[in-house]
Amino acid sequence: MPTDLDTWTALWRSYGYQLVLVGLVVTAIVLAFTLVVAHRRGHTNQWVARVASIAVLALSAEGMWVVARERLHLPVVLAAAVFFVAEALMVSAALQARRHYERTTERDPGGRLIRPGHPGPHGRAVWVIAAVAGGIVALNSKSAVEVPLRLALPLAAAYMWQLALTADGTTRPAGAWRWTPRRLLVRLGAIDPTEADLTTADRERRTATMTVTARRVHASAWPAGWHLMRLQRLAANADPAMVTEVARRVRQAHRIRELTDPTVHEPSTNISDAVSANTTAARDQSASNASDAHGANRPARTAGRRTTGSAKRTESRRTTAEDYLAAARAAWEPGVEVDVGWIRDVTGCSRTTAYALLPQLREHLANDPHTPPASEQDGSGVNVVAFANGPRTVHR
């Protein structure tokens, strides 16, 4: 028996072709036998996937051997280690990923799937090893056709392995990448973040374009004439609903500084709280109006305050939340969009009161869009009339 490496090398050079042929025949017989067994058990697809994986690993290992011996000129022992280590690491990571997936999968006592698991970090390791090993072998290729072949085969094997492992689905582990190809495409506008159809996506895109152009027109951005022509061209193919949405977005954008003012407290939805907060301003305004009407030397009748002295005590009626609500209902017309700014314009109330009136007014208009008369009379004999700059009280 030969004992030295040179003898084995000489034998391989003399009978290497025959040895390879015998190995191929034995391999074919083994594969045929395992195929028959897998077919009887109903696992033909798994057999094909495993055989393909073994072939890819063998091709990648052969490429690593060539790199170690011909490119790096490593000794045979080190070349054998390089020949084996990459494929061994890839197989080990694949087995660990399968265990992690089975451990994180939840099933009921009957075996039905409740919640699929995930491969974990070992699944990512399979992809990293396949990409690195395929890239190293591809760099040693001797033709342009061999480069993508050497690189694609390990990645294809990793992809088929992941498909077979996660056939029942997968769950996202805790944490996620902040930047992914899909998120970058969404940020660039190449894909939509939702599953909307083409009609909805195109409608939203045109609405957003009209909004940006309308803001430039109102801001007199240069060139103003070109922006106006573009807005008119876009509006020619828009329906009334799109125009209404653009108007709402433009108003919101122009009032965003006021709406996000940190010095303003969160508006209360309670009508009584809103009116109480507005009492001081209303009382001062009533006092000023009374002073202008009756003279500077005569005592003013302020809202919520009685006059003192021998004269008869009278009390002026304060403007309540119901008065503001009635004035807003009377001023509303079909097609008018109700918001805080519109309520303040037609009633003259404060912003806090307008925020409190907004949900009740919208609910009333949704249930009964028919507006009441322009004035409503209560039991105290006072008519509440809606003016352009706010409600006023008229005494009989």
| pLDDT for res 252 | 92
Q: pLDDT digit string (tens) for 92-106?
A: 999 999 999 999 898
Distance, in Å, from the CA atom of 137 to the CA atom of 78, rounded to the nearest integer, reads 17
Distance, in Å, from the CA atom of 335 to the CA atom of 81, rounded to the nearest integer, reads 79
Lowest-pLDDT range of 54-58, 142-146, 181-185, 261-265: 261-265
- DSSP-derived letter for residue 316 is B
pLDDT band, residue 238 (cuts 50/70/90): very high
Burial (CB < 10 A; 0-12, 13-18, 19+), residue 246, is buried
**211 Cβ contact list (under 8 Å, min separation 6):** 246, 249, 250, 253
| Coil, strand or helix at 18 | helix
Write down the mean pLDDT value for the chain.
77
* pLDDT over 80 at 184, yes or no: yes
| Domain range summary for the chain, segments of one domain joined by + | 18-165, 198-254, 271-302+318-395
| pLDDT for res 2 | 47
* pLDDT over 60 at 296, yes or no: no
pLDDT band, residue 228 (cuts 50/70/90): very high
Q: pLDDT digit string (tens) for 299-337?
A: 444 444 444 444 444 444 567 888 888 888 888 888 788
| pLDDT for res 317 | 55
Lowest-pLDDT range of 91-95, 131-135, 220-224, 305-309: 305-309
* pLDDT over 90 at 246, yes or no: yes
| pLDDT for res 380 | 42
| pLDDT for res 293 | 46
pLDDT band, residue 375 (cuts 50/70/90): very low
| pLDDT for res 93 | 92
| Mean pLDDT value of segment 387-394 | 42
| pLDDT for res 286 | 53
* pLDDT over 90 at 226, yes or no: yes
| Coil, strand or helix at 276 | helix
| Coil, strand or helix at 369 | coil
